[in-house]
């Protein structure tokens, strides 16, 4: 006999349109990976996640497959899906690439940004500052990611955007953790204020400089966290 609670859960799931359910699972799982609720290197247990997210395994597997394509999880033969875990060498290489890509997108954005795009970035920036004042790291990060994406969109180079998305996906959880240090978080906020000013004045050189510095500061913080065991704690034998 079916458990009444399970029947109610299945009924609620069936009432959600397939596309909406798929997007919901993707968003929840992405958030869990970025915010470290699934630790780097941890195997994604489908049974546990299915219960936790209150969905069947079919949309969950679809979401995991797409997050693998995004770079947030590694799909390993005979082991399944594992939250991406980067070595120090990986981190240095990824941030080296990101610094170059974001510097280029910032420079192009300063030259090409439209009035509506600039206003949208400024609005997101002010919302992000409000999250900073409330110590709302999760809200801050979501707005921060939207700002960086909006800058890339303003650069109006689809190939650059594609490369940025693919490489940035692998370090989203690491970028999230860099702001857990209050000094580093304040530094990031100051750099974002410089970005907005550079976009307003159409100063391409300043935009390239601040984005390069921003990414290299992120890199340095991530490496520091990695070396002191904050990102990948030592395994317990």
116 in any annotated domain: yes
Structural domains of the chain, count: 2
d(CA 63, CA 117): 30
3-state secondary structure of 108: helix
Among 52, 83, 114, identify where a domain stops.
83
- One domain for residues 111 and 76: no
The pLDDT score that the predictor gives to residue 5 is 46
Q: What's the CATH number where 183 sits?
A: 1.20.120.530
215 and 116 inside one domain: yes
**Helix and strand numbers, DSSP H then E, in the chain:** 11, 2
CA dist., res. 170 & res. 97, Å (int): 12
Asked whether 28 and 53 are in contact (CB, 8 A), the reply is yes
24, 48, 83: which is the final residue of a domain?
83
Q: Which two tokens stand for residue 159?
A: 């190939």
Q: Phi first, then psi: what are they for 117, rounded to 5°?
A: -65, -40
- The residue ranges of DSSP E strands in the chain, in sequence order, are 73-76, 80-83
Range of the domain at 73: 4-83
Same domain for 135 and 216: yes
Residue 160 confidence (pLDDT): 96
Contacts of 222 (CB under 8 A, 6+ apart): 91, 95, 171, 174, 175, 177, 178, 231
**Residues 20 and 59 reside in one and the same domain:** yes
- Does residue 162 lie in a domain region? yes
Tokens of 81: 């899906």
How confident is the prediction along the chain (237 residues), in pLDDT tens digits per residue? 444 444 434 444 444 456 677 788 888 998 888 888 888 888 999 999 999 988 888 889 989 998 888 888 889 887 889 988 888 999 999 999 999 999 999 999 999 999 999 999 999 999 999 999 999 999 999 999 999 999 999 999 999 999 999 899 888 888 888 887 888 899 999 999 999 999 999 999 999 999 999 999 999 999 998 888 776 544 332
């Amino acid at each position: 006999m079916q458990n009444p609670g399970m029947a109610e859960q299945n009924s609620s799931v069936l009432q959600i349109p397939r596309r909406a359910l798929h997007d919901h699972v993707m968003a929840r799982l992405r958030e869990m990976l970025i915010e470290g609720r699934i630790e780097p290197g941890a195997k994604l247990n489908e049974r546990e996640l299915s219960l936790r997210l209150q969905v069947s395994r079919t949309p969950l597997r679809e979401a995991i497959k797409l997050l693998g394509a995004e770079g947030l999880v590694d799909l390993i033969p005979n082991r399944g899906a594992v939250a991406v875990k980067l070595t120090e060498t990986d981190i240095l290489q990824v941030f080296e690439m990101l610094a170059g890509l974001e510097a280029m997108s910032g420079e192009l954005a300063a030259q090409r940004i439209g009035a509506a795009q600039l206003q949208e970035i400024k609005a997101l920036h002010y919302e992000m500052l409000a999250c900073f004042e409330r110590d709302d790291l999760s809200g801050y990060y979501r707005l921060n990611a939207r700002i960086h994406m909006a800058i890339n969109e303003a650069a109006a180079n689809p190939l650059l955007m594609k490369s940025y998305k693919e490489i940035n996906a692998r370090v989203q959880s690491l970028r999230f953790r860099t702001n857990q240090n209050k000094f580093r978080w304040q530094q990031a906020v100051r750099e974002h204020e410089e970005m907005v000013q550079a976009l307003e004045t159409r100063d391409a050189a300043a935009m390239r400089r601040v984005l390069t510095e921003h990414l290299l500061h992120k890199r340095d913080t991530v490496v520091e966290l990695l070396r002191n065991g904050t990102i990948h704690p030592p395994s317990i034998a």
